[in-house]
């Protein structure tokens, strides 16, 4: 298993940002002396947009992708991305109001139609895009665009300003390529996929996910235009740049190849040590870095384990949310001893936590419940988790009834009493770093009795 390098997660200032004229110059150079065709560049750009989306949004819970495609190359990138997303298991739909009358674009439309990807009229879109789509891709205008958005794109930009999970391709629509959202009327996308190199406006991007795609820039272009670009990991078509959510970039290790965990390196506070490792896992782009195995045992000591998602951690412990009538909750009620395991495969790391579990406060559960997407809130109401049911229809019928009951989105959905959080207060935390020849590093923190101090020991692998 190859170790992941996170060296590319530098300060954004260490990457080149292009003016509009340099971006145009690079394109002309690629398609002139360097022999690329527009079709090739568009294919790789669209593939990198689809790959970056797949890095952030799983097709399991974000399958419905709406792509808004403009008339130029940016729209073409969107059409290509739609094709790849379809092959990746997403369900793309396309709005392409001003079609370009060129063979390349006709071909892209034909390919999508042959995959039964629906083309929709912008007039048929719901007034709240989030009611029908999990992700919306803004592929309307790219770096060569100047001027004002013409209808219907002006309305589409407005619609996107109140839509979650917007992914902008290269330049957020409505933004000035160099100065950003100068009128304050443009989008605030959650994700930006810069192509070739980020444009100057990307410095103003405040969303949590900034990726670079378009893995075709040869050294001749890097040298001629004096570009500083991050390396792409492995065979990936995209690389995360800028700051990752909740990540203190300064805390990142230089290189994971040959990572070691020595007593004099670890933070004396295991929660801080966990924070560093957790942020490394986020920064390395691992899928669901907050997924953890929760092991419980019943009153007779018979164990059971399952995955849950970490939703918060601090000196008090590690928090997840679940059903208070579930098997795990019943076991915890009779035996509060539990253990958690995190496994971050590509970093060759594992963290094991042991301790006592208790419910979080009602306020914490309320706050988290209401921060979840409405559909997940309804899901929590529907499920009698761990109970035997006679068929899938029990869930589907109950879900439909509750969707109808709470159709008025201004009505808050009350948190059911049977749903809430648990916190495991750690007694022991072990950090495991895989090393060569199976001589792994294992550092265990054990809380000293009646103290906030921790004993630190090395365990044999």
Beta-carbon-side half-sphere exposure of residue 18 (alpha carbons within 13 Å): 27
| Closest approach of ligand FMN to the CB of residue 271, in Å | 20
Q: Is 99 or 306 the residue whose CB approaches ligand FMN more closely?
A: 306
DSSP 378-419: HHHHH--TT---S-HHHHHHHHHHHHHHT-STTSPPPPPTTE
Q: Is 25 or 379 the residue whose CB approaches ligand FMN more closely?
A: 379
Residue 291 in the binding site for ligand FMN (CB under 6 A)? yes
74 carries a ligand binding annotation: yes
DSSP 334-383: H--EEEEEEEEGGGTEEEEEEEEEEEPPHHHHHHHHHHS-HHHHHHHHH-
Closest C-alpha to 56, from 256, 176, 213, 187: 213
76 carries a ligand binding annotation: yes
Contact characters 384-403, ligand FMN, x per CB under 6 A:
-xx-----------------
Q: Is 438 a catalytic residue?
A: yes
Two structure tokens written together for 337? 């001893």
73 carries a ligand binding annotation: yes
Size of the site for ligand FMN (CB under 6 A): 16
Instruction: Report helix angle 103-114 to 73-88, nearest 10.
Output: 20
Q: Active site residue: 372, 438, 447, 458, which one?
A: 438
Whether 156 contacts 140, CB under 8 Å: yes
In this structure, what DSSP letter does residue 323 have? Answer: E
Beta strands in 32-113 (DSSP E): 64-69, 91-95
Residues numbered 229-288 forming contacts with ligand FMN, rule: CB under 6 A: 288
Residues numbered 312-351 forming contacts with ligand FMN, rule: CB under 6 A: 320-323, 326-328
Residue 372 in the binding site for ligand FMN (CB under 6 A)? no
Residue 306 in the binding site for ligand FMN (CB under 6 A)? yes
Specify the stretch interacting with ligand FMN by CB under 6 A; choose among 300-308, 397-405, 431-439, 449-457.
300-308
| Closest approach of ligand FMN to the CB of residue 332, in Å | 9
77 carries a ligand binding annotation: yes
User: Which residues partner with 297 through β-bridges?
Assistant: 303
Q: Could you tell me which residues are annotated as the binding site for K(+)?
A: 74, 138, 173
The residues that touch ligand FMN, with contacts defined as CB under 6 A, are 288, 291, 304, 306-309, 320-323, 326-328, 385-386
Q: Could you tell me which residues are annotated as the binding site?
A: 73-77, 138, 142-148, 170, 173
Instruction: Report, as residue numbers or ranges, the catalytic residues.
Output: 438
């Amino acid at each position: 298993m190859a170790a992941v390098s996170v060296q590319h997660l530098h300060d954004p200032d260490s990457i080149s940002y292009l003016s509009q004229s340099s971006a145009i110059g690079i394109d002309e150079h690629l398609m002139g002396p360097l022999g690329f065709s527009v079709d090739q560049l568009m294919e790789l750009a669209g593939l990198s947009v689809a790959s970056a989306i797949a890095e952030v949004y799983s097709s399991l819970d974000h399958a419905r992708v709406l792509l808004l495609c403009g008339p130029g190359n940016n729209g073409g990138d969107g059409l290509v991305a739609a094709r790849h997303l379809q092959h990746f298991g997403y369900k793309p739909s396309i709005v392409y109001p001003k079609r370009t009358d060129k063979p390349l674009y006709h071909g892209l439309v034909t390919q999508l139609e042959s995959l039964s990807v629906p083309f929709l009229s912008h007039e048929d879109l719901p007034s709240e895009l989030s009611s029908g789509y999990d992700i919306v891709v803004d592929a309307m205008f790219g770096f060569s665009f100047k001027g004002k958005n013409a209808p219907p794109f002006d309305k589409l930009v407005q619609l996107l300003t109140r839509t979650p999970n917007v992914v902008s391709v290269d330049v957020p629509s409505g933004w000035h390529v160099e100065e950003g959202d100068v009128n304050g009327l443009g989008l605030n996308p959650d994700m930006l996929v810069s192509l070739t190199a980020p444009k100057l406006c990307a410095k103003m991007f405040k969303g949590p996910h900034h990726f670079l795609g378009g893995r075709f820039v040869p050294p001749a272009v890097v040298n001629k235009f004096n570009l500083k670009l991050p390396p792409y990991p492995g065979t990936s078509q995209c690389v995360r740049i800028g700051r990752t959510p909740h990540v203190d970039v300064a805390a990142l290790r230089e290189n994971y190849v040959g990572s070691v965990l020595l007593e004099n390196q670890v933070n004396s506070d295991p929660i801080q040590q966990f924070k560093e490792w957790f942020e490394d896992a986020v920064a390395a782009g691992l899928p669901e870095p907050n997924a953890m195995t929760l092991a419980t045992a019943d009153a007779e000591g018979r164990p059971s384990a399952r995955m849950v998602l970490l939703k918060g951690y601090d000196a008090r412990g590690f928090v997840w949310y679940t059903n208070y009538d579930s098997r795990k909750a019943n076991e915890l009620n009779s035996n509060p001893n539990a253990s958690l395991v995190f496994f971050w495969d590509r970093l060759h790391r594992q963290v094991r936590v042991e301790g006592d579990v208790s419910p979080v406060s009602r306020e914490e559960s309320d706050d988290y419940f209401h921060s979840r997407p409405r559909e997940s809130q309804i899901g929590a109401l529907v499920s009698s988790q761990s109970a035997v049911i006679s068929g899938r229809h029990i869930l589907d019928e109950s879900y439909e009834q509750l969707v109808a009951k709470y159709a008025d989105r201004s009505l808050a959905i009350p948190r059911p009493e049977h749903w809430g959080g648990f916190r495991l207060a750690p007694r022991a935390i072990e950090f495991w770093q895989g090393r060569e020849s199976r001589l792994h590093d294992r550092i265990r923190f054990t809380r000293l009795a009646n103290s906030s101090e921790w004993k630190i020991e090395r365990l044999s692998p």
